[in-house]
Structure 1
Amino acid sequence: MCIYAYNSCLDYVPYTHRKRFIATSPEWEARTGHDQYQTYLKLYKNDVLPKDHRASVTVARVGSRIAAAAKDFTRMHNAINSINSSPFTYTVVRSDDANAFVLPGNHVFVMTGLFKYVHNEDELASILGHETAHNLARHAGERVSQNLIVKMLSYLALMIDPSGMLFSFFVPAEALFFSLPHSREHEIEADEIGFILSSEACYDPHAAKKVFARMKHDADDGNRSVATPPEFVSTHPGYDTRLTNFDQWMPAAMERFNRDDGQKCFAIRQEMKRARSLAAKMHDNERR
């Protein structure tokens, strides 16, 4: 019975085709994400930038193109159920943290501290592509499902050895050899799929490397806000790993970016330029 239940919850991540156990549904994940979204809005209420703030407008504009690329991605890879139909929301929060995150239900949060490392829309697209990719791959649902297995094994360890000795060994071993490697795997997967989304949306693929190169430079200089622990005890891959991965994925990304002899993305980037110019004029007029 247990084996049947486990096998019935196996599926594959779009594009990477990684086989994984996932016991949640996209609908449940979205409902959970909507609840979390309201919680975060209350938490950040005094620091949320207005929707008409220039940073908010820019994030929403770039995000809309990434979201459109995500829809095309699901059709291309026959993964319609990988992302729910909820519209994407983009919330910019005044914070020194150089961070962004996404909730199930397509709610993206961007901290203003990230703009120290993100200098233009191409670079912003690489971040939003990464966050959107987490939802496309349903990483949140997978984490919940993994936690169910870990809890069951924890109870089993206590049943086998009520003294707790086995449990005391299980907890750090589980983190080191299961949870942390899976977390890094999710981040690498989001980097790769996000790379596809941003290049498909006609944002320069080289931009992702520039963002992480700046973070690595500051981390090497001792900036704690972007410093990372040794990779084997971290939830995220190290900067060197990520930069190497981007180099490996770059040829395919540039092929997408230059499709149709580059004419499609050239035309789209001209539209982007006009949109930026119009937004800047509207912003200047409002300030007068």
Structure 2
Amino acid sequence: MKHLHFTLLLLAALLLAGCSTVPLTGRKQMLLVSDSEVLSSSLTQYNDYIKSAKKSANAAQTAMVVRVGKKIASATESYLRANGMASEIQNFAWEFNLIQDPQVNAFCMPGGKIVVYEGLMKLVSSDDELAVVVGHEVAHAVAKHSNERLSQQVMAQYGANILNSLVSDKSSAVQKVAGTVYGIGAQYGMMLPFSRKHESEADYMGLVFMTMAGYNPDVAVGFWQKMSAGSGGSVPEFMSTHPSDATRIADIRKELPGIKAKYRK
């Protein structure tokens, strides 16, 4: 029990020390891993990836990715400076790459390392549509979603340790059932919902950033409809790390009027 009490005290201390706020949305988040640790690890992973990836030979599309990326990054930094968060800019060393890969996808590493796959460009017909994707990825970086996910995993591990302490004197059958139930609860009760929350938050923040950069956020509805049409089958939303296509599009429609009224130049 002493070990359990110590674990609970440590957990409480971590929660108090790790409280942060997401820009734009104001959502409270728990960050238990330092920015320097996240950035160092992600940069290593990114460099390893870039060494093995094949950059696109399409000069026009590559220029498009870089052009849109830099414009949104500039608008994002302007927002941070104007809202008392200039110190956050030091965490970003923006880089935008188009990679030869047929996947309809893009990703962002902490620190602003953004990769777009050529497969995605088949659905992009304008700078505005590309800005929907790039804005979304920039938002993940600004909101520190990777750090939050790591912190959630740390918390899940602490939860597992506490559970083990509570059932340590029970039969092996009880311990096995408790572990299984906790695993399911952590996955569907915390990890996946938070992933969906991150995606929805990145959608909203990305629309704001692209609007600040002078792009037309109205194209987001049509773009995600194109993405939805090409996505094929999907798992139930409660088991997915992403909101359903219908949910995403409905949320975007709801947010657009307010975003345009507040952030359009």
**TM-score with structure 1 setting the length:** 0.81
Code of the residue aligned with 1:130 in structure 2: it is H
CA distance in 2, matches of 1:134, 1:216: 21
**Other structure's SS at 2:116 match:** strand
Match of 1:84, SS state, is helix
Matches within 5 A, 1:96-135: 96-135=102-141
Identity of aligned residues (%): 28
Secondary structure at the aligned position of 2:107 is classed as strand
Q: Which has the higher contact order (CA 8 A, sep 6+)?
A: 2
* CA deviation string 1:189-242 (max 9, x = no partner): 1111100000110101112111111122234xxx3xxx4311111000111111
Gaps of 5+ in 2: 1-8
Structure-2 residue corresponding to 1:281: none
Q: Let me know the Cα RMSD of the aligned residues.
A: 1.8
The one of 188, 192, 196 aligned to 2:204 = 192
C-alpha displacement of 1:17 = 1.0
Give, as a single letter, the amino acid of the residue that structure 1 aligns with 2:134: L
Q: 1:90 to 1:258 in 2, by over 3 A?
A: closer
Out of 228, 235, 242, the position equivalent to 2:241 is 235
Do the aligned residues in 2 keep the contact of 1:33 with 1:107 (CA within 8 Å)? no
Q: Structure 2: how far apart are the matches of 1:34 and 1:180?
A: 25
Which of 28, 48, 56 matches 1:39? Answer: 48
Q: Structure 1 CA distance, aligned partners of 2:167 and 2:87?
A: 42
CA distance in 1, matches of 2:205, 2:264: 18
How far off is 1:144 after superposition?
Answer: 0.8
**Partner residue of 2:56?**
49
Deviation per CA, 1:110-164: give whole Å up to 9, x if none. Answer: 1111122221110001100000001110111111111101011122223333532
Distance 1:257 1:186 in 2: 21
Match of 1:5 in 2: 14
Q: Provide the C-alpha distance between the structure 1 equivalents of 2:21 and 2:111, rounded to a whole number of angstroms.
A: 20
Query: How big is the shift at 1:58?
Result: 1.0
Which amino acid in the other structure matches residue 198 of structure 2?
Answer: H
- Give the whole-Å Cα distance in 2 for the aligned partners of 1:21 and 1:82: 17
Q: Report the counterpart of residue 65 of structure 1 in structure 2.
A: 71
Q: Give 1:175's aligned residue.
A: 187
Structure 2 distance, partners of 1:129, 1:218, is 21
Question: What whole-Å deviation, never above 9, does each CA across 1:252-287 have from its counterpart, x for those lacking one?
Answer: 23225653xxxxxxxxxxxxxxxxxxxxxxxxxxxx
1:83–1:135 Cα contact (<8 Å) kept:
no
Q: Which runs of 4+ in 1 moved over 6 A?
A: none
Q: SS state of the match for residue 108, structure 1?
A: strand
- Aligned residue in 1 for 2:6: none
Letter in 1 for 2:221: K
Query: Is contact 2:99-2:118 (8 Å) kept?
Result: yes
Q: 1:144 aligns with which of 144, 150, 165?
A: 150
